[in-house]
Structures are given as C-alpha cells and as structure tokens.
Structure 1
Amino acid sequence: MALRQPLTQLSKRTLPSQFFRSTSIPAIHQHRSNLASISTPPVVNNGTNGKGTAIVFMNMGGPSTTADVGNFLSRLFADGDLIPLGRLQNYIGPLISRRRTPKIIKQYAAIGGGSPIRKWSELQSSEMCKLLDSISPSTAPHRPYVAFRYADPLTEEMYTKLLADGFGGGNGGRAVAFTQYPQYSCSTTGSSLNELWRWRGRLEGKGDVEGAIKWSVIDRWPTHPGLVEAFARNIEAKLQEYPPETRNNVVLLYSAHSLPMSVVNRGDPYPAEVAATVHAVNTRLGFKNPYRLVWQSQVGPSAWLGAQTSDTVENYIKKGQTDLVLIPIAFTSDHIETLYELDQEVIGETGLDSIKRVESLNGSEVFIKALADIAKTHLEENVACSQQMGLRCPGCVSEKCVESKKFFASQQKELTA
C-alpha cells in the first residue's frame, strides 16, 4: 500500500530458492539478533567518501501511538498520489480524516495502542545493513535510515538526519532509496519518491548541486527469489495446521491493498506486479492449492479494485468453503491492515478456526537476507533506477511525477562521474 522482466536491472540476476537455504543466518526474534556477530571483511570505501552508504527504507508508516492517529490521517488524506480527490483534495481530505480519526483510534487501541511498522522497519533495515557490510565491503559501512510518508520519521526528518550525519550539504556521499513496497504503484512508491525529490530540492537545492547526495532507487522487486521464498515458507508453515487429508484443498487468498479504479485505469503497474508476486509464490509452492488474488482496505464510495477480501471470505463461507488462508502479499511487516483488518475484522468476525492468516515477514531471516541481496546487486550494477521507473503511466498528467522521475534518472551521470 512489482513482473520481473523487464522491470528492473535486478531482474537480470535470478537466484534459486536453495540460495536462501544454504547459508544460515541466526534466527531473529523481536529486536534481538545475532547477525551482528557475523564476521565481516575489512571495509573498503570505494567512492563513498569514507561515510559509507546510506540505505533509506521508504514506506507508508503508521502512528506509533493513538495520539499520533490524527496527524497520520491528515497527511494520508492530503496526499493526492495515494487518494486522489481532485481539486477538492484540500477540503475533502481534512474532512474525511477528522471523521475517521475516532474510529481509527479505536482500531489502533485494539492492536496494542499503535502500529508496529516502525519497530519492524528499523529492525529490518539495521539487520540488513549488518549483513550488507559482510557481503558488500566495498560500499560499507551501510547506514540504515527509515523514511515514512505519513508518520514519524517523516522524509524531512530522515533527510535532515542524513545531512547531520555528513551526507550531502557540500560533502557528497551515496544514498539508496529502497522502497519497502515490493510492487510499484504511483500511489505508494511513486508518492514516497515524489516526497523525497521535494525535500531534496528544499534542503539541498534543485538540479545539479555540487556536493549533494548521490541518489539511486530500488523501486520494485516483486519476484525476487528471497521474497518469494520467505512468503512460501510462511504459507507452508500455516498449511501444516490443517489435517493432511484436506491440506491441499485449502484455498489461498492472497490479499493486497486495493487501489481506486481511477488509478488503475490510468495505467498504474501495481495490479500486474502483485499478480506477478502471486504467480511466483505459487510456482515455488508447486500450485498444490487453489488460490485467488483479492484486495482490501477500500476507502470511500468511489470504485476500487476488487474483489474485496472481506466479501470474498463471506462468499466462500456461503458456498461451503471454510478452509481459507489469508496471505498479506503486498506488505513486508505487520500493521493495521493485518493485525486489525484481517485478524479481527475479516477473520475474527467469522468465528471459524479454519480461516487463518499467514504470519507477516517481520523478522524473517530469509526476508532480511533477500533485502541484503537486492541492495548488493543494486550497488554492484550502479544504476540510478530501473528502466521501468522512467516510464509514466499512459494516463499520467502529474507534472510532479514528471520532474521527480527526471531527477532520479539524472542521477545516473552522478553515479558514473
């Protein structure tokens, strides 16, 4: 809330699932990990001016406490890239956010008082950087940062911290914007990149600026073998909770955050890229189970991409199909859409033990190893962004999108200078 060919330069390298089984990484539980104990080769800073490489995890974010919900929703509904409300965005957005705030506060209270997405993002980024120091010493040390679109730490806060840490501001340095939406959408990754471009202009200047941060972007990774393997293992673990005689008849419901049909119809690549992830995971699983791709989290009365997850579960129950497994296929960690919408609303309201949810990726060692491999490959290839990112949606009319894409593509000459 990404088809492998020819989506990204990362696509050129395909790793078998055995790669993610052959080298063990100590298990990660909550905030504790032994990854730091991995022996690392000597650090050689090649083109990083001694500072290393900043790896910036970009995501939507979520309110860490119920007191943060109002500001979170205000920012969310003000973003026309995510929820396009037209010329009345500045009026309708605040109105919707104020009306929804009391309800959403109750939902966050029900999952413990706030979103865990910051905790998981900081854990994933820090553990990935430790591993990346080991497998990519020439670009080490790798320094983790998190930039959320609608919650702290916001993009502005992250960029200010980069400058304080000696990146940019006349000092140069290398940073990678690493989207944590595996599948690209203009409303998610596109919005985060637009925001990053905006703050770069405000804090370092527009165009070619001597000594500014050299940016590159990992803009999608929908069928990376490690991502696929991490999903597949969690699905297999959940299926073991069903009796052997019925296990292969359990319906897999891959659930992704929906999009307004206005976004889909202008040519947004997200639906196809989510479908690519689903196909890759099912290929790894051997297509043993029937499955469907469904969509959740619709907001407002306008038309959204369906079928809706909640309607699908209800309709299958009516048809007598009650062995269902929900898989959050477009999320890389738990947040309100998994812990409340899926667990408490969609599943909880059925009262059926036979309807379950697959564990989110969270601290999966396979997933963190995948993140490190994606970043290593990106740094080795030394490309500013994928070729696919430069292609605008057929129906795009956003000048902000034009300028943002132009900026990140222009970083190629900075990387190869």
Structure 2
Amino acid sequence: MEGSPSMIGLLVMAYGGPNNLDEVEPYLLDVRGYRPTSQEIIREVRERYREIGGRSPILEQTQAQADALESALNVNGNQFKAFVGMRHWHPFIKDALAEMQAEGIEKMVGVVMAPHYSRMSIEAYIKKIEEANSPIAFSCIENWHLETGYVNALASRVHDALQRFPEEIRADVPVIFTAHSLPEKILEWDDPYPAQLRETVSAVMEKLGSQPHEFAYQSAAISTIPWLGPDAGEVIERLVAEGKKHILLCPIGFVFEHVEILYDIDIVYQKLAKSLGIHLERIEMLNTAPWMIAGLANLIREKAKEAGWL
C-alpha cells in the first residue's frame, strides 16, 4: 500500500530491545542516555537475554500489532499505513518518521503500546517525535488504560488462565496485577501513572467479579534511588505466608512478551514460586488480541477525526 498526501500514517511505538546478544551493550548505552555502563550490568543484562533465547521479541511483536491495527483501520478502504518506531533501538522513531515522509505522508497518529501515561514513559516517546523535527503533523494517544477492548481482553485472559487451576480452589486464587515500576520521584510530579494502573485493575475486576486480587510493581531497575513498590515478589511471599498455594500473575502494563515477562516473571518469579512450593501461573499476553486491536483502532480513528483528517 503506497503512501500519499491523503494517507494517514500510524506510528506504533515501543521501547525497543536487542536483536542479538552483541547488541545488548549499544542498546543499554542508548537506554542510559550514553552514560557509561558498568561491565557487570552489561553482563547481567546479556545473561537475561541469553536465558530468553538470545534476543528481544519486541520488534516482531510490535510489527504484528501494527499490521493488525492497519488491517482493522482499513477494513472499509485504505486510509492508514502503519510504521513501527522504537524509543531505544532500531528502527528508531526518527527512522520511522523519515520513512513516512519519504512515502509522501503528511499527517500521522501515534500510539505507544503501553496503556498507562507517565511523564517518564509516554511523554518520552512524544519528545522523540518532536526531536525528529519531522514536517509530518501528528496527534498522539496519551493513554488507553480504560479502553473497553483492552479491559475486556485482560478480563478474558484472566478467566482463561484461572481454568489452569483446580476447579475446587479456582474462586480463591489471588490475581496479582503487575506493571513496570518507576522511580518514586514521579509521585512528586503528581504523575497519573499509579492512579491509572489502579483504574485498570478496578475496570478488569468489574468484569471478573469477586476474585481476590492485589496490585504490585515489577522489574524495578538496579538503582540507588527508591522505586515504586510493593514488588510482586514481596506480594507473592506475603500471600504464601498467609497460606496461599496457587497464584495468578496478570501483567497489565505490558501487552506482549519481552524480557520483563519472559525473564522477570517466567524465570525469576517462577524460581521464587518453586522455592516456596506453590503453583504460579501468568496470563497469556494480549499480543494481537482482537478486542484490544479493535478498541485501539477505534481510538486511532477518533484521534484522526479530532485532527480533521477523516
């Protein structure tokens, strides 16, 4: 599908990740703003990627979501063309914008594949667009944490995952909803991130009913400054101390598999569960869940209409 001045670009953004172990060091350099990175940290991060297959699946997962969104948006005619841009690795956001411009696209809607807004996350993507100095007019979706399709897809994934537990205890299995931790300093900015996370939990629980549940953060960086808690590992340990033998993890801040899922949950928390002698499961990630894709496509159309492009 060729671009044209009447075509609306869709920039689907994600964090980025190394495509092989040799890319781990330069990737970390970009993440850390080109500050020096200790060899110890590089080795540790490289080992994490080695344990999940030697690469990040972020690019292929985001491309699949972009393709699904483009198909959903163009069901009644070709009005949108999707491009993928990464915040910290190839293809960078600026490269995606350059590709759009080369194809003659003059306007675009941007969406980050992370539903919750924070100045440290979503705002950083918008800044990358601005720094690219592209002539393309743009309008970005800043959050979609209460989008009905996303909420329904999460509730469906939780319902399906609960079927893996014995029927007689299923109603008592606690669900721990998780999201990526951020430095505590965001609280000083009155950042909406923590509140939006809890709003998502409430919306999902309205669909699920009376299932016991908790909220926790995960994947805090190794840092000298405090990060938001409690950590999911601490919550797992507390629930076990309270007598729980079966626990379900539901990541809500992540919509596909990457290192925070495949390593932090599937390896680290599963090792913890094994050491505690409990049964730990996680939901299947949303990836290209039809409900979520349809809901996001509606938001993208609304953004384009608000801008006067449709």
TM-score tier by shorter-chain length is over 0.9
The one-letter amino acid paired with 1:346 is Y
Map of 2:281 onto structure 1: 356
Find the aligned partners of 1:144 and 1:367 in 2 and give their Cα distance: 17
Identity over the aligned pairs, expressed in percent?
Answer: 26
Map of 2:113 onto structure 1: 180
Map of 2:26 onto structure 1: 71
Shift of residue 340, structure 1, vs aligned partner: 0.5
Find the aligned partners of 1:74 and 1:280 in 2 and give their Cα distance: 38
* Residues 1:290 and 2:245 aligned together: no
User: Which of 124, 131, 137 is matched with 2:65 structurally?
Assistant: 124
Find the aligned partners of 2:12 and 2:249 in 1 and give their Cα distance: 26
Find the aligned partners of 1:348 and 1:360 in 2 and give their Cα distance: 20
Find the aligned partners of 1:361 and 1:66 in 2 and give their Cα distance: 26
User: Which of 89, 95, 104 is matched with 2:37 structurally?
Assistant: 95
Unaligned runs of 5+ in 2: none
Instruction: Report the count of equivalent residues.
Output: 305
* Structure number with bigger Rg: 1
User: Which of 296, 304, 308 is matched with 1:379 structurally?
Assistant: 304
Find the aligned partners of 2:139 and 2:281 in 1 and give their Cα distance: 39
User: Which of 243, 259, 263 is matched with 1:340 structurally?
Assistant: 263
Find the aligned partners of 1:62 and 1:76 in 2 and give their Cα distance: 10
Name the SS for the 1:57 alignment partner: strand
The one-letter amino acid paired with 2:281 is K
Map of 2:50 onto structure 1: 109
Map of 1:405 onto structure 2: none
Map of 2:101 onto structure 1: 163
Find the aligned partners of 1:165 and 1:99 in 2 and give their Cα distance: 43
Find the aligned partners of 1:61 and 1:348 in 2 and give their Cα distance: 26
CA displacement 1:132-179 (0-9 Å, x = unmatched): 0115x4xx3311111111111111211221222123xxxxx2111112
Name the SS for the 1:253 alignment partner: strand
Structure with greater proportional strand content: 2
Find the aligned partners of 2:129 and 2:40 in 1 and give their Cα distance: 29
* Residues 1:367 and 2:292 aligned together: yes
Shift of residue 353, structure 1, vs aligned partner: 5.9
The one-letter amino acid paired with 1:102 is R
Map of 2:233 onto structure 1: 310
Unaligned runs of 5+ in 1: 1-44, 79-89, 168-172, 205-211, 384-414
Find the aligned partners of 2:189 and 2:119 in 1 and give their Cα distance: 10
Find the aligned partners of 1:198 and 1:260 in 2 and give their Cα distance: 24
The one-letter amino acid paired with 1:74 is L
Find the aligned partners of 1:296 and 1:310 in 2 and give their Cα distance: 8
What is the alpha-carbon root mean square deviation over aligned residues?
1.9
